[in-house]
C-alpha cells in the first residue's frame, strides 16, 4: 500500500463523503445504488481508506444475515489517482479476514456486464465469475456474479 494511506472501519458519517464522489469515480451515475442505509446499517463491516485525511477508497460489505456462511460486498471504489496500487486488493483482504473470523467461508458480489474493470479485478483476485445471468435483477437487468471461497 502507498505511503500516507490508512484503512479503518467505516462509520455512518462517512456516507456524505462517499456519496459525493461515486458518480465521478465510476464515470456514470451510480449513487442511486448506494443509499444511506448501507452506511447506517453496515458501517461496522465496511471499510474506508484515507490518504492524508482524504477519501481514497471504500468497501461496503456485510456478513449476510440470511446466509450464515456468506459475506457480501455491495460496492468497492478507489479514487482514480490511487488505482493500480493494490488498494482494492487490500480492502478485499481485510474484509475477507474479518469475514473468516466471523465464520464466513465465501464472499459474493455482483456487477453489471458492462463493468469490464470490475470483472477483471475480481478475476485477478481469484473469484469465480459467472454470467451474464439474464434478468438477474429484474426484466432486462442482466448481472455477472462473483464468488470466492475463503481459505483457513
Ligand X SMILES: CC(C)(COP(=O)(O)OP(=O)(O)OC[C@H]1O[C@@H](n2cnc3c(N)ncnc32)[C@H](O)[C@@H]1OP(=O)(O)O)[C@@H](O)C(=O)NCCC(=O)NCCS
Q: Which residues bind ligand X (CB under 6 A)?
A: 25-26, 75-78, 83-89, 111, 115, 117-118, 120-121, 124
Nearer to ligand X, 68 or 137 (CB): 137
Residue showing cell 473469484: 127
Q: Is the preceding omega at residue 132 within 30 degrees of 0, hence cis?
A: yes
Least distance in Å: CB of 63 to ligand X? Answer: 18
Record the cell numbers describing residue 81, joined without a space: 489517482
Least distance in Å: CB of 28 to ligand X? Answer: 10
Nearer to ligand X, 68 or 121 (CB): 121
Total H helices, total E strands in the chain = 5, 7
Nearer to ligand X, 45 or 111 (CB): 111
Nearer to ligand X, 68 or 106 (CB): 106
Least distance in Å: CB of 11 to ligand X? Answer: 21
Nearer to ligand X, 39 or 76 (CB): 76
Q: Please check whether residue 91 is in contact with residue 106, taking contact to mean a CB–CB distance below 8 angstroms.
A: no
- What phi, psi does 9 have (nearest 5°)? -60, 145
Least distance in Å: CB of 121 to ligand X? Answer: 4
- CA distances to 114, 129, 133, 136, 145 from 139, in Å: 17, 21, 11, 8, 17
Least distance in Å: CB of 27 to ligand X? Answer: 8
**Alpha helices per DSSP H over 63-145:** 87-101, 116-124
Amino acid at each position: 500500500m502507498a505511503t500516507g494511506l490508512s484503512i479503518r472501519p467505516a462509520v455512518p458519517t462517512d456516507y456524505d463523503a462517499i456519496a459525493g464522489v461515486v458518480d465521478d469515480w465510476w464515470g456514470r451515475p451510480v449513487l442511486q445504488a448506494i443509499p444511506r442505509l448501507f452506511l447506517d446499517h453496515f458501517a461496522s463491516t465496511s471499510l474506508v481508506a484515507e490518504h492524508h485525511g482524504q477519501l481514497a477508497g471504500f468497501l461496503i460489505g456485510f456478513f449476510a444475515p440470511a446466509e450464515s456462511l456468506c459475506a457480501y460486498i455491495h460496492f468497492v471504489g478507489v479514487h482514480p489517482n490511487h488505482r493500480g496500487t493494490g488498494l482494492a486488493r487490500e480492502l478485499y483482504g481485510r474484509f475477507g479476514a474479518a469475514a473468516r473470523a466471523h465464520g464466513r467461508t465465501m464472499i459474493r458480489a455482483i456487477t453489471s456486464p458492462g463493468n469490464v474493470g470490475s470483472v477483471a479485478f475480481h478475476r485477478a483476485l481469484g473469484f469465480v465469475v459467472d454470467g451474464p445471468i439474464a434478468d438477474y435483477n429484474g426484466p432486462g437487468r442482466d448481472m455477472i456474479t462473483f464468488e470466492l471461497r475463503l481459505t483457513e
